[in-house]
Structure 1
Amino acid sequence: MSFFDVLQRGDEFILNDRPQQSRWWNVLSHATCLAAVGSSKLIISLFYNLNLKGLENLDRSLAKARAENRGFVTVMNHMSVCDDPFLWACLPWRYYASLDDIRWGLAAKNICFVSKSSSTFFSLGKLFACERFGRGPFQGGLDALVRVLSPDDTLDTDHIFQGLNESKPIASSLVDNVKSFYSPKYTPPILRYKSSWVHIFPEGYVCQLKPPHNNSMRFFRWGTARLILEPTVAPVVVPIFSDGFEKVAPEAKSDDLVDSILPQGIGSTITVNIGRAIEDRVIEAFRAEWRALCDKYHDRSNPNDLTPELKFGKEAQNLRSRVCAYLRERVAELRLENGFAPEDPRLASQKFWSEYTKTEGQSAPDIQFVGYNWAIRAYQKNVSSYDEHGNEVSK
């Protein structure tokens, strides 16, 4: 269930750095993506062994999403700074014949969007800026992904919240807003001919742990749940687990300029395991809970936007937590298929990671990172601090 104001903010965020409906922008974007994929393919083919499993699951699920005019979401563990674009180098070239077939995603604003040139490059690479360290799940980059996952012909009052079981004046007010914004003169923020693909790393940070916890994951951050609950139509969702990228770019050597540029672990095997799509009934059940919360907690005076209760209320947070926990379980199943021992159950807990990061690892000294725990703010530059509601308080 979508909200009009969320979709509108998504439009505006996309247009901040993208020419509206520019064919030249799409040409440059496609060329940028092909260059990144091509160079990554060259490195993998020359120096590594690739084990790609479950490609038929990806083929089938993407075809289903396109046939049913639904967004497509892939979720994967985050082992290395080279996960993107090297992951895409593992797929056949046919996945890049059209710009519409290339994924959208998020990239850290404090790393990838620090100058005009870097912002342009990563925008051409179909990435939106994501602010971390307290900004929370209600920010422009995630609004943009919700909008991208909402097909342009579903921007109507059948798919946008309009005050269920409320009086007609409220519903009529929204109808007027929708008609005025999404009128025949309205131009969508992106030029596309198919429903879109969004790929996300729900952990939010690279996570390389030392044995016996190697190739384990953090908890999945709650913003991921917005991509399941808030698009106008339910997306098709596919889990992926990879290992081997951490050998290409091990965190322990990231401070060495030469090692950070050149690929490491020559001859290692990269395994990408693509699972089956999560059942539609599961996704729809979560979305039905979300619709019920929207009906329960919307603001009668402004039914077009998320209320504080829908953002920060216990019921809404619990739902997002359960959605992300379920997604993590599906990715963790693929991890087991790749031959790893079961994870320490503590690692799936948001509370565990919050305390671990706050104490810089002292709360669980048996769990150690390779290199840095990048979730610690002091280790990164160009970041702001935010209060519990995502409002900036300092730089």
Structure 2
Amino acid sequence: MGSVPFAVGAFSKLFLKAGCRNVRVDGLPAFLQRLKSDRGVLTVANHISVVDEPFMWGSLPLRNFLNSKTLRWTLGASDIMFNGKFDRWFFTKGQIIETHRGKGIYQKAIDDSARLLDEGNWVHIFPEGRIKQEELHELRRFKWGISRMLMECERVPLIVPVWIKADETLLSGFEQVMDEPRVWPNYLPRTGKDVTILYGEPMNAAVEPLLAAYRAKYPTPWRPATYERPVGQDLEDEPDEVGRMRSEIAEAMRQGLMQLGQRVDEVERERPAG
């Protein structure tokens, strides 16, 4: 593995250790064991600040950043992360999959993510698709790309929720480290905040029956004839049942992630800050 992931991982660990007042991490040992298997892992998390990625991964052991198998792949907007030669080199080394805004769910980034999962890799998604710092415990509707990703997988990965502490009354969580909008004096992360990160149990029991129903109806996943058409035309042409099933899969994951978020208070009572 190259030096970019290790350097970013080391900086993230340093920020959690020296830049935050209290850090609680729950469920990490079980999650690390899951990364050692030959089965793909798909993590989904709430998205509360611009520094969720990569600071949340500072909770991982530093050795994870030396192995591409134990380092997440994730989607990154082409117009933000792939503008020039250096940007493209940096984010490609950081295992970012170039994603094109406005291209919808039928694009190569989703195909690549499904392939990586089938190969036993770890892919991470912020399925709300944008930062949300209001009504933090009620998640937005998940973007459909995450459902299509699973529909395309030949082998269903472990689907693991990850919750980043988001407290609407206390000055804690990454939303306080880097809040929106990013204007003066909010250009740099704030220090001295509390952070809690929960790694949950797999949500496969809720999601796999929905995927099985889809595969029974469509043994070969439905795709448009070409990816070069407008998004609206793709959605018009696809069977209505595909859209309904996709929504059900996304909602099952959304509910599972919110259930994990409800454990924050319990974890903070049980685990001392440190």
TM above 0.5, yes or no, is: yes
The residue identity in structure 2 corresponding to 1:117 is: F
Q: How do 1:128-277 and structure 2 match up within 5 A?
A: 128-132=97-101, 134-151=102-119, 195-209=120-134, 213-243=135-165, 244-252=173-181, 254-256=182-184, 259-260=186-187, 262-264=188-190, 266-277=191-202
Partner residue of 2:82? 113
- SS at the partner of 1:74? strand
- SS at the partner of 1:75? strand
Structure 1 residue runs without a partner (length 5+): 1-26, 152-194, 303-307, 341-395
**What per-residue deviation string (whole Å, max 9, x for no partner) do you get for residues 296-333 of structure 1?**
9969xx9xxxxx68973211111111111010111101
Residue 42 (structure 1) aligned with residue 21 (structure 2): no
Cα distance in 1, alignment partners of residues 40 and 221 from structure 2: 26
* Candidates 306, 314, 334, aligned match of 2:260: 334
Conserved? CA contact 2:207–2:253, under 8 Å: no
TM-score (norm 1): 0.59
Q: CA deviation at 1:147?
A: 1.4
Cα distance in 1, alignment partners of residues 85 and 221 from structure 2: 40
Q: How many residues align?
A: 250
Conserved? CA contact 2:48–2:133, under 8 Å: yes
Partner residue of 2:272? none
Judge which range, 284-293 or 266-275, deviates more: 284-293
Residue 52 (structure 1) aligned with residue 25 (structure 2): yes
The residue identity in structure 1 corresponding to 2:42 is: V
* Candidates 94, 101, 124, aligned match of 2:93: 124
Cα distance in 1, alignment partners of residues 44 and 55 from structure 2: 15
Structure 2 residue runs without a partner (length 5+): 166-172, 226-233, 267-274
* Candidates 238, 257, 263, aligned match of 1:312: 238
TM-score (norm 2): 0.83
- The list of structure 1 runs, each at least 4 consecutive aligned residues, that deviate by more than 4 angstroms after superposition, is 295-299, 308-311
Judge which range, 199-208 or 86-95, deviates more: 86-95
Conserved? CA contact 2:6–2:66, under 8 Å: no
Cα distance in 2, alignment partners of residues 240 and 297 from structure 1: 28
**What per-residue deviation string (whole Å, max 9, x for no partner) do you get for residues 48-78 of structure 1?**
0211011133134334xx2xx3211110011
**What per-residue deviation string (whole Å, max 9, x for no partner) do you get for residues 167-209 of structure 1?**
xxxxxxxxxxxxxxxxxxxxxxxxxxxx210011001111111
**What per-residue deviation string (whole Å, max 9, x for no partner) do you get for residues 242-262 of structure 1?**
02111111113x022x532x2
Cα distance in 2, alignment partners of residues 46 and 298 from structure 1: 49
Change (3 A) 1:297 1:325: closer
Cα distance in 2, alignment partners of residues 214 and 94 from structure 1: 32
**What per-residue deviation string (whole Å, max 9, x for no partner) do you get for residues 214-257 of structure 1?**
453211111001222211211111011102111111113x022x
The residue identity in structure 1 corresponding to 2:49 is: S
Q: CA deviation at 1:137?
A: 0.8
Conserved? CA contact 1:106–1:141, under 8 Å: yes
Conserved? CA contact 1:77–1:241, under 8 Å: yes
Change (3 A) 1:245 1:297: closer
Conserved? CA contact 1:74–1:199, under 8 Å: yes
Conserved? CA contact 1:293–1:310, under 8 Å: no
Cα distance in 2, alignment partners of residues 320 and 217 from structure 1: 17
Cα distance in 1, alignment partners of residues 114 and 220 from structure 2: 22
Cα-Cα RMSD: 2.5
Conserved? CA contact 1:208–1:215, under 8 Å: no
Partner residue of 2:4? 32
Residue 287 (structure 1) aligned with residue 255 (structure 2): no
- SS at the partner of 1:272? strand
**What per-residue deviation string (whole Å, max 9, x for no partner) do you get for residues 262-286 of structure 1?**
221x22111101111123x444322
